[in-house]
Structure 1
Amino acid sequence: MDTVSYAQEIVKELQRSAAQLDAAEAEEFAALLLRSGKVFVAGAGRSGLMGRAFAMRLMHAGKEAYIVGETVTPGIEAGDVLVLGSGSGETKSLLVMAEKAKGLGAAVAAVTIAPESTIGKLADYTVKLPGSPKEQNGGERATIQPMASLFEQTLLVFYDAVILRMMEQTGQTTTQMFGKHANLE
C-alpha cells in the first residue's frame, strides 16, 4: 500500500470511529464545559498533545482553559472541571489528578475507550471513544495504525466537534475566535 492509500484508510477508520460516538454523552460534555468555571485539561503522551490542542481552542472560544502542569496554571476549585483524555483510563498520573480534583470539589470528565476503568468510574462524566488498537474483529486488529493512533486521532476530532458545538451554542464565529489568537508570533 502506498502513502496516499494509507491516508485514505486512516480517514475511513476515523469515519467508523465518529459513527460510534454517543450523541448524548457528547452533548452532556459540551454542556458541562459551557457551564463550568475554569477548564483544566490533561493527558499523557499523544493524548496529552490532543488535550493541549483542545485547551487552545477552548481559550479561543472564550473559556478560561489550562494545561495541567504548566507553570501558569492556577489551582482547580469547585465549579471547575478537569478533562482527562486517556485511552486505557488507567494512567496513574491522571488518576492522581482526578482524585485531587474531586477532593477539591471540581468535576472530572474522562474521555476514554474504557468508561469501566478506574478513571472512568471515578469521573463525574464520561465520553466513550472507540479506537482501541486492542479491539479484535475475528482475530484481526480493528485498525491498521500503530499503538493508540486511532484513539488519539478520534480524540482530536471529538474535541474539535465539541468546540464547534460550543461555538454554535454561544453564537461565536471563527472571526471572533481569531481575535484571541496569539499575536506575538
Structure 2
Amino acid sequence: MTHIQTIIEELTATVMGKAFVMRLMHMGLDAYVVGETVTANLREGDLLIVGSGSGETKTLIPIVEKAQQLGGTVAVVTINPTSTLALLADLVVKLPGVPKEQTALADETVQPMGSLFEQTMLLFYDALILQIMEDKQLDSQTMYGKHANLE
C-alpha cells in the first residue's frame, strides 16, 4: 500500500477524517483527504477509507466504485453495515450511532444528529493511530518531527 486516502460524508465527520490523515502524515505515511488540491492519484493497492454514518451517501458510491476499478481497497466506517457503501466495501467497520435524519433515541443517545457516530469515529481513528504507532515503534516525540512548524 502506497497511499491512504479518506473521504467523509459531512463536514463534522470530515474534520475527524482530516485529523486521522494528519496523524498518518506525522508517522511518515502518504495520506490524503479526497478532494483537497494536494491529494495524490489513487493507485492499485492503495486504501480508500470512507466515513458515512448512513452508508447511503449517493456522491460517495461512484467514488468507491472508481477506487475499486483502479485496484484500490475500500474500507467503510459506518453505523449501517448493510448499507450500499458497506456492501461495496472490502472492509466494513461498524460504529455505534443513530442516523442523523432520526431524532435521538433516548435508549441509544441523547446527542443530536450524527454526534455519537462522529465522536466514536474520532476515537476509532485515534485507536488505529495508537496501533500503527506501536507497530512502527513510534512515539509522539518522534512524530513531532513532521508537525507543522510555520505557526
The answer to whether structure 1 residue 51 and structure 2 residue 17 are counterparts is: yes
User: In 2, Cα distance between the equivalents of 1:66 and 1:77?
Assistant: 13
The reply to whether residue 96 of structure 1 matches residue 62 of structure 2 is: yes
Report how many residues are paired. Answer: 148
Q: What is aligned with 2:5? A: 40
Aligned to 2:37: 71
* Corresponding residue of 1:106: 72
* TM-score, normalised by the number of residues in structure 1: 0.76
- Spell out, residue by residue over 1:122-178, the C-alpha distance to the aligned partner (whole angstroms, 9 max, x if none): 000111101225598xx7351111001000000000000100000011100101101
Higher helix share: 1
Point out where structure 2 has 5 or more consecutive residues left out of the alignment: none
Instruction: Please report the RMSD computed on the Cα atoms of aligned residues, expressed in angstroms.
Output: 1.5
Once residues 96 and 163 of structure 1 are traced to their aligned partners in structure 2, the CA distance between those partners, rounded to angstroms, is 28
Q: Shift of residue 117 of structure 1?
A: 0.5
Output the amino acid matched with 1:76.
L
Question: Identity of paired residues, percent?
Answer: 53
Using the alignment, how far apart are the partners of 1:121 and 1:97 within structure 2?
14
Structure 2 contact 55–78 (Cα < 8 Å) conserved: yes
Which residue of 120, 126, 148 corresponds with 1:154? 120
- When Rg is computed on C-alpha atoms for both structures, the one with the higher figure is 1
Maintained 8 Å contact 1:42/1:51? yes
Residue 126 of structure 1 pairs with residue 92 of structure 2? yes
